[in-house]
Amino acid sequence: MNHKATIQKVLIANRGEIAVRIQRACKELGIQTVQVYSTADTHSLAVQMADECICIGAAPSSQSYLNQSHLIEAAKRFKVQAIHPGYGFLSEKADFAQLCQDNDFIFIGPSAKVISQMGDKSSAKKIAKAAGVPTTPGSEDIVSSIGMALDVSTSIGFPVLLKASAGGGGKGMRVVNSLSELERNFNEAKREAMSFFGDESIYIEKYLTNIRHIEIQVLADREKVLVFSERDCSIQRRNQKLIEESPSSAMDPKLKQEIAAAAIKLCKYVGYQNAGTIEFILDGDSDQFYFMEMNTRIQVEHPVTEMVSAFDLVKAQIQIASGQVLSIQQEDLVSRGHAIECRINAEDSTNSFMPSPGLVSAVHFPGGAGVRIDSHVFQGYLVPIYYDSLLAKVICWGQDRDEAIARMKRALSELRIEGVFTTKALHLEILSHVKFIQGDFNTQFLSKELNLN
């Protein structure tokens, strides 16, 4: 297939709010959409919005959204030119990107080769180091034995972090504080990695305690790499992001320039094309940043970048995949104001964040100046038990951070999702906390300030 041909029809290989988001971008570009769905998503908003749709399997994702052959068969049946994987599921699976290419479909994302290089965290770290990007002290390669683990941990000093090489989404990580803990946790960490990712490989990094989670949105066509204002994703629970904002209150202009330059350097080194995110940890004690990982896809939190840049990242993904060179230049990307995103999940934050599937009996989404809602939820929607618990993303923009916080608190006070538990009250508690308001927080904010684990 000529990858410079116009994309006229896209198959959306995902569900929920990101499927709705991709459909909106396609419609604005005049592109037809084919929505795949599982039996649990028969009546979903994404199915209702699509031009065409097809059931690809039973509710468990292994039988539907992760079934590569069913997705390719659907793409062939509906004669699409391209497949958008969204985030999660198959979005960072190099074998799926390759399968799309082998069947003459454009994969809306980077090449299979780049996904393979950057998707494995141990490999990505070595590549970043070779590109001259700072990396966290730790093992150079996969740590295959307890003897190797002891050597690495002793050399860099405790505490250390055991990380699944194929990990993602905050899963497959264990903090180890001593030699005795290492011996207890090493094999457990390998088993956990195999259970989550089908790959027992782990590596070891120095565990830094006072850190901010900073990420750089990149967008590259065949001629240039663009970087956007950084996102701060430090408000997390068990490495799962709850609140994201742009820009970060923890960085001065010099540090912003250095981290953006590092992101460009890495993208050019691997020949990256399409949208991606390079994640860094910022050591609050030294102001040194280190490469953590690269997500070779669109991120859940991409709307905060869109709000401060007035730029549509998903439309750009599709345009780059069709072979276009973006007309926008780096100097055109001016960050304006401040944006915050709250992820509203179907969880009971008062009961160990237990998932809360069920029927949504009533919905009212907030509006007004500077408020954006990305959601797939409607009155009568049945929240399934099979997938992640994200119900809606509330994104608010303000002239400055104070206004963005005030606007978010106002928006959340208007938000109603009834019939299931949600994390709305927790977000309001965080937004009202003096340390959050002052920008004085790190990734351990929830556990240290709110006693939530």
Looking up residue 64, the CATH number of its domain turns out to be 3.40.50.20
On whether residue 2 sits in a domain, the answer given is no
Closest CA to 46 of 397, 355, 451, 374: 374
* Same structural domain, 35 and 173: no
- Region 365-387 average pLDDT: 98
Domain final residue pick, 161, 184, 206: 206
CA distances from 357 to 81, 383, 421 (A): 35, 5, 8
pLDDT at position 292: 92
**pLDDT exceeding 70 applies to what percent of the chain?**
98
Q: Quick one: 298 and 422 in the same domain?
A: yes
What digits encode the pLDDT tens for the residues 74-108?
999 999 999 999 999 999 999 999 999 999 999 99
Tallying the residues shown for the chain, one arrives at 453
Q: What is the pLDDT of residue 132?
A: 97
User: Do 325 and 299 sit in the same domain of this protein?
Assistant: yes
The tokens describing 27, both together, are 């419609």
Known catalytic membership, residue 297: yes
Residue the block writes with tokens 């690495």: 152
| pTM of this structure | 0.91
The band of 172, judged by pLDDT with boundaries at 50, 70 and 90, is confident
Range of the domain at 349: 211-449
Q: Which of 206, 230, 256 is the last residue of a domain?
A: 206
Same-domain status, 317 and 235: yes
Query: What is the count of structural domains for the chain?
Result: 3
Question: Based on the domain organization, do 313 and 189 belong to the same domain?
Answer: no
Band the pLDDT of 233: cuts 50, 70, 90.
very high
CATH code for the domain in which residue 327 is found: 3.30.470.20
Q: How far apart are CA 255 and CA 216, in angstroms?
A: 12
Q: Are residues 178 and 223 in the same domain?
A: no
Verify that 240 and 156 share a domain, yes or no: no
Is 120 domain-assigned? Answer: no
Q: Give residue 127's pLDDT.
A: 97
Residue at a domain's end among 206, 228, 259: 206
pLDDT band at 170 (very low <50, low <70, confident <90, very high): low
- Give yes or no for a contact between 162 and 121, defined as CB atoms under 8 angstroms apart: no
What average pLDDT is seen over the chain?
A: 95
Residue 255 neighbours by CB under 8 Å, 6+ apart: 282, 287, 289
What is the pLDDT averaged over residues 136-143?
89
CA 453, distance to chain mean position in Å, is 21
State mean pLDDT over 324-339.
96
- Whether 52 maps to a domain, the answer reads yes
> Are residues 246 and 362 located together in one domain of the fold?
yes
Whether residues 84 and 173 fall in one domain:
no
Is the residue at 119 inside a domain?
no
375 with 235, same domain?
yes
Q: Give the pLDDT confidence score for residue 169 in this predicted structure.
A: 63
**198 and 259 fall within a common domain:** no
**Residue 132 maps to a domain:** no
State yes or no: pLDDT of 212 exceeds 80: yes
Q: What is the mean pLDDT of residues 214-240?
A: 97
The answer to whether residues 39 and 75 belong to one domain is yes
Task: From the candidates 212, 297, 372, 407, give the one annotated as an active-site residue.
Answer: 297
